C-alpha cells in the first residue's frame, strides 16, 4: 500500500522511508506545492494528526505524519513541540540556543519524543508514540543525523545520535520505536 509522508524535511523523509520500507509500506514524499498546515496543537499527537489530515486531503492518499522533538527536563520539557521552531535559523542556531539556555543546568536528562498519526484509506486515524531517553551534552559530537542529534547522548550506545550509523539510530530512536508501534497497529488493517 502507498502512503504519502507529510514532510518536506529531506533527512526525515529518508529516515522514515528507510524504516517504513522495511515494514513493507511504499512511501512517497509530500509534493512540494502542498500547503504547510498550522501546527497549532498542544501536543505532539495533535500536531501529527493535523499534518496527516492535511497531507491526505491534498493528495487523496493515505498519509503518515510525525511530530517530534526534544524534551529537556531542566527546561520544563522545552523545546518540546516547538523543537523545529525554537529559534530562527538552521539546526546550528537552535542547538546553540539550547546550549546557552542549559549553561547553568546540572540536570541534563532529556528525551526525544515522536508521535505518528496515520490516516488509513477508510479515514480512520491511528496515533502512536515513541520515546528515547538520553542526556544533553554541553557540546556537539558527530556530523550524522539532523536537528539536535549531535547533542543527544545515548548512554546505552556510548555516543550521540549524531555519531550513530543510520541503521542503529533507526533501531533505537523515538521515530523507530513509534514506527514499530505503527506496524503493530496496522497489522490486519491493510
Q: Which residue has the cell 524535511?
A: 9
Active-site residue (options: 33, 40, 67, 107):
67
Tell me the domain boundaries of the chain: 2-186
Q: Is 176 exposed, middle or buried (0-12, 13-18, 19+ CB in 10 A)?
A: buried
Residue 190: what pLDDT? 65
* C-alpha 29: how far from chain center: 15
Give binding residues for substrate as ranges.
Answer: 7-12, 68, 146-149, 169, 174-175
Assign 130 to helix, strand or coil: strand
This prediction has a pTM of: 0.91
For residue 107, indicate whether it is catalytic.
no
Give binding residues as ranges.
Answer: 7-12, 67-68, 146-149, 169, 174-175
Residue-level pLDDT, tens digit, the chain, 190 residues: 789 999 877 777 777 777 777 677 888 889 999 998 999 999 999 999 999 999 999 999 999 999 999 999 999 999 999 998 998 888 999 999 999 999 999 999 999 999 999 999 888 999 999 999 999 999 999 998 889 999 999 999 999 999 999 889 988 999 989 988 988 888 767 6
Residue 25: what pLDDT? 80
User: Quick one: CATH architecture of 2-186?
Assistant: Alpha-Beta Complex (3.90)
Residue 26: what pLDDT? 83
Give binding residues for Mg(2+) as ranges.
Answer: 67
Amino acid at each position: 500500500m502507498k502512503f504519502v509522508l507529510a514532510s518536506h524535511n529531506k533527512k526525515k523523509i529518508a529516515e522514515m522511508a528507510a524504516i517504513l520500507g522495511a515494514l513493507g509500506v511504499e512511501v512517497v514524499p509530500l509534493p512540494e506545492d502542498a500547503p504547510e498546515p498550522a501546527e497549532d496543537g498542544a501536543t505532539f499527537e495533535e500536531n501529527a494528526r493535523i499534518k496527516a489530515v492535511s497531507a491526505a486531503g491534498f493528495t487523496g492518499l493515505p498519509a503518515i505524519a510525525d511530530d517530534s522533538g526534544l524534551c529537556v527536563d531542566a527546561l520544563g520539557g522545552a523545546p518540546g513541540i516547538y523543537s523545529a521552531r525554537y529559534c530562527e535559523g538552521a539546526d546550528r542556531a537552535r542547538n546553540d540556543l539550547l546550549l546557552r539556555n542549559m549553561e547553568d543546568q546540572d540536570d541534563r536528562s532529556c528525551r526525544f519524543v515522536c508521535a505518528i498519526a496515520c490516516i488509513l484509506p477508510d479515514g480512520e486515524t491511528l496515533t502512536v508514540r515513541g520515546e528515547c531517553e538520553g542526556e544533553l551534552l554541553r557540546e556537539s559530537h558527530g556530523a550524522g543525523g539532523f536537528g539536535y542529534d549531535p547533542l543527544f547522548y545515548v548512554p546505552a550506545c556510548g555516543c550521540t545520535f549524531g555519531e550513530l550509523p543510520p541503521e542503529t539510530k533507526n533501531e533505537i530512536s523515538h521515530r523507530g520505536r513509534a514506527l514499530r508501534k505503527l506496524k503493530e497497529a496496522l497489522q490486519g488493517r491493510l
